[in-house]
A and B are shown apart, each in its own frame.
Chain A
Amino acid sequence: MARVVVLGAGVSGHTAALYLKKRLGKAHEVVVVSPNSKYNWIPSNIWVGVGKMTTDDVVFPLAPIYKKKGIEFVQAKAFALWPEGDAESDQPAVEVEHTSQERMGQTEKLRYDYVINATGPKLNFAATPGLGPDDGHTVSVCTPSHATEAKTKLDDVIAAAKTGKEQKVVIGVGHGTCTCEGAAFEYTFNVEHELRAAGVRDKIELTYLTNENELGDFGVGGMQFEQNGFRTTSQLWTESLYRERGVKAVTGAAVTKIEPGKIFYDQLDGSHNEMDFDFAMLLPPFKGTDWAAYNKAGEDITSTIFAPSGFLKVDADYTPKKYEEWSAKDWPRTYQNPTYKNVFAVGIAFAPPHQISKPRATPDGVAVAPSPPRTGMPSGTMGKVVAFSIADMILKGAEKPTHAASMSEMAAACVASAGTGFKTGTAAAMTMSPVVPDWEKYPETGRNLKETFGEIGLAGHWVKRLLHTLFIYKAKVKPGWTWIPE
């Protein structure tokens, strides 16, 4: 009997665990380790942050789902990998610390035959002094509790505006190396929608603050679309939306510090700037979980398996190169660690080989370099292909991973909500194929123009709302779940 341990129960880990169990059946064990007892459909946290959904709408308990499917659930956080085993056993192990009420703080080693690291991001608020809801002065929408707090603070701003006080709202990213600009973009326009609905839009200056070199970059170097007989850019398309909604923007910015009511940021032209705020939602940069790895003798081999960012090294080409020399082929396909063939990483947890959007720095050397986004669709797809590969390795004795999905081949869909309401909602629906431009295959724009498009309107909102329902349905493993694509 083989034992597969999946670390993380988010989009990629949950998908991997469900497909593994479906393929492996009762003959083999699938174990999921996650510090949270609940699944969170993160894209809908944006709507919690404007009060259109509650925490209960975006989370559900994992244990009953796993029990029903015969998957073992361990509520714990993983912190050390022993890929060669240890003094007690030759079988590899992952060391975890329990987080459930009953076993809080206890540690244990879980033995595995295969392990999938799907631990997502560590929200690195500490990278910028004063950033974040816990020890800082800004809010976030990364977790349901963060988003609930953001909604409360947004209500305070609306209440102040109703008394006639002018208010400054800033939404964006809180560090020069952040990713997930799409989420900040979404929150900006949802807040704008709510401010209009509350009748206080004229009292509020709304600014989008980003590390993107230009609007519409989204950490993927922007996109080109064909629309109405013209080729247009995501930059122009996005700028049009900002004009239509009266939103200001600051681009190419690296936030360096936050004090109560004041954001300090540097820009690519070398300027040091300040911006006042009454409400600021700034996303944190992401890093990997705080991992350590040891060989059988107990010597530290963390740097063999993990990149300095804490993300796990997989079958990518990590040779340091100039941005211009990077190619689509550098991106991983199987997500297998090159040293330990039974170790895989999917979703945000794998170490990307390079940025997609061109990295830049201020004259003082402050990085303004959006990190590559690893959104829901690619993350789920990676979970699925790794599950299929491991199942083939266990069931058919395959020596190598049998399934592949590279971000330089796969597409991503991004539906960025810009306001809710069955009749009044709007969203910008975008697809890009592939996520990482392939300049050899598509020399003109890096992407397949037939599969890369953008569209704004009510339809986008309906799609976004449908995705919420479908993905929660799928994650709950209801009948026909495999028919819903990642």
Chain B
Amino acid sequence: MDNTNERIAMAPLPTPGELRRRRNAFTQFFRFMRINWTMWLLARKSHH
């Protein structure tokens, strides 16, 4: 029995604070740098 839509209906919604953080250019700039840095490190160690 596919209960996906019931699960979606029960899923946690982001708080207004989290939604603001997701849009805030200042916070997002730091997240942007962190994501890029992590991806760069992971890509560089992916082979030997």
Please report the C-alpha to C-alpha distance between residue A326 and residue B36 in the assembled complex, in whole angstroms. Answer: 33
Asked if A456 lies at the interface with its beta carbon under 8 angstroms from chain B, I say: yes
- A201-217 to B contact mask, C-beta < 8 Å, 1/0: 00000000000001100
Residue in A250, A411, A426, A456 whose CB lies within 8 Å of B42: A411
Are B46 and A431 in contact, CB atoms less than 8 angstroms apart?
no
Are A413 and B43 in contact, CB atoms less than 8 angstroms apart?
yes
Are A466 and B36 in contact, CB atoms less than 8 angstroms apart?
yes
- Please count how many residues in chain B sit with their CB below 8 Å of the partner chain's CB atoms: 32
Please report the C-alpha to C-alpha distance between residue A83 and residue B48 in the assembled complex, in whole angstroms. Answer: 28
- Quick one: which of A253-268 are within 8 Å of B by CB? 253, 267-268
Q: A236-B12, A410-B47 are in contact. Are A451 and B42 (CB under 8 A)?
A: yes
Are A431 and B21 in contact, CB atoms less than 8 angstroms apart?
no
Are A459 and B47 in contact, CB atoms less than 8 angstroms apart?
no
Interface residues on A, range: 35 or more
- A26-42 to B contact mask, C-beta < 8 Å, 1/0: 00000000000000000
- A294-320 to B contact mask, C-beta < 8 Å, 1/0: 000000000000000000000000000
- Quick one: which of A332-389 are within 8 Å of B by CB? 377-378, 381, 384-385
Are A413 and B42 in contact, CB atoms less than 8 angstroms apart?
yes
Asked if A8 lies at the interface with its beta carbon under 8 angstroms from chain B, I say: no
Q: Which of A385, A403, A433, A485 has the most CB of B within 10 A?
A: A485
Whole-angstrom distance from the CB of B47 to the nearest CB of chain A? 4
Please report the C-alpha to C-alpha distance between residue A75 and residue B39 in the assembled complex, in whole angstroms. Answer: 34
Among the stretches A133-141, A154-162, A239-247, the one at the interface with B is: A239-247
Q: A385-B47, A431-B42 are in contact. Are A463 and B35 (CB under 8 A)?
A: yes
Asked if A405 lies at the interface with its beta carbon under 8 angstroms from chain B, I say: yes
Please report the C-alpha to C-alpha distance between residue A247 and residue B44 in the assembled complex, in whole angstroms. Answer: 36
Asked if A67 lies at the interface with its beta carbon under 8 angstroms from chain B, I say: no
Instruction: Please name all residues of chain A whose beta carbon is closer than 8 Å to the beta carbon of B9 when the two chains form the complex.
Output: 243
Please report the C-alpha to C-alpha distance between residue A455 and residue B31 in the assembled complex, in whole angstroms. Answer: 9
A residues with a Cβ closer than 8 A to B are 214-215, 236, 239-240, 242-244, 247-253, 267-269, 377-378, 381, 384-385, 403-405, 409-411, 413, 415, 423, 426, 429, 431, 433, 451, 453, 455-460, 462-463, 466, 485-486
Further pairs besides A251-B4, A253-B2, A385-B47: 11, Cβ < 8 Å: A239-B4, A240-B14, A248-B5, A377-B43, A381-B43, A403-B47, A410-B47, A431-B39, A451-B38, A455-B31, A466-B36
List 27 interface pairs A-B (beta carbons < 8 Å), by A numbering. Answer: A242-B8, A242-B11, A243-B13, A247-B8, A248-B5, A249-B5, A250-B2, A251-B2, A267-B2, A381-B46, A384-B47, A404-B48, A405-B46, A405-B47, A411-B45, A411-B46, A413-B39, A413-B43, A415-B35, A423-B23, A455-B35, A457-B21, A458-B24, A459-B32, A466-B36, A485-B39, A486-B46
